[in-house]
Amino acid sequence: VALTLDGTGHGDDGTAWGGEVLYSDFDHYERIGHLETIPLLGSEKALYDLRRLRFAIDAMNGEENHDFTDREAMVLTKLMDRSVRTSSFGRILDALSFSLGVCGERTYDGEPAMRLEPLLDRGKLIEGFEATCENGVIKTAELFSRIEKGQKPADVAYSIVYNLVGKLVDTAISKADSVGTKYIGLTGGVSYNSCIASMFRDMVISSDHNPIIHRDVPNGDAGVSVGQAAIALRRI
């Protein structure tokens, strides 16, 4: 059982994955739970123009967004139901980085999340950002509507991320117990974030399970080929 947290992965349901809890062996996999999906308005453009992520989240919450002109907002609203959706944890970090004034536009791969990491390192857990889960879907958009003026950005960032990781770990623990394993893994590019990895490790250990974290195989895309080779050898 593993948390697979990344920027963009091709899901088998036509959406972009990246915030999943998967149960797998060498023969099959099962998607146990995942973060709520949000539309990528303009697809690739939403990866760089972070305003689009926040616009989509505000639209999901039924809230006004003032980052675009009325004409632009009208076009983006029409894209809400036409754009590919993503459950990516990386995109949530991007939207959070933009919302807290850390990064307005991505100029290189992973920039918003990396610039957010110092906030996570010094943040503390505050009330009001508890996450909910319905039928295996962990709600993300509603957390952004709870951000208020006067709150410390570091505390907001830490609390949102901590609660989302917590729900993902809870989902993984439930599955691990049902199949009789004590091991829960963390993988994907997001797991390069030391604060998120520490949260995961502490949560898993406190639940009397054993965390598995990368050491010899890369966390991100470079590790995919190792898994492909293992599965191919199994089939041969």
**Residue found by looking up tokens 């410390």 in the block:** 152
Q: Does residue 94 have a pLDDT over 90? A: yes
Q: Does residue 220 have a pLDDT over 90? A: no
- pTM recorded for the entire structure: 0.94
pLDDT tens-digit readout, 194-204: 999 999 999 99
d(CA 3, CA 161): 14
Question: Mean per-residue pLDDT for 56-60?
Answer: 97
For residues 168 and 45, the model is more confident at 168
Of 43-47, 137-141, 201-205, 212-216, the poorest mean pLDDT is in 43-47
Do 117 and 190 meet the contact criterion of CB atoms below 8 Å apart?
Answer: no
Question: Mean per-residue pLDDT for 120-133?
Answer: 95
Radius of gyration of the chain (CA): 18
- Position 188 scores a pLDDT of 94
Kindly report the three-state secondary structure assignment for every residue of the chain: CEEEEEEEEECCCCCEEEEEEEEECCCCEEEEEEECCEECCCHHHHHCECHHHHHHHHHHCCCCCCCCCHHHHHHHHHHCCCCCEECCHHHHHHHHHHHCCCCCECCCCCHHHHHHHHHHHHCCCCCCCCCCEECCEECCHHHHCCCCCCCCHHHHHHHHHHHHHHHHHHHHHHHHHHHCCCEEEEECHHHHCHHHHHHHHHHHHHCCCEEEECCCCCCCHHHHHHHHHHHHHHHC
d(CA 154, CA 100): 9
Q: Does residue 44 have a pLDDT over 90? A: no
- Position 69 scores a pLDDT of 93
% residues pLDDT > 70 (the chain):
100
Sorting pLDDT into bands at 50, 70 and 90, what band is 109?
confident
Picking from 156, 225, 219, 155, the residue whose alpha carbon sits closest to that of residue 3 is 219
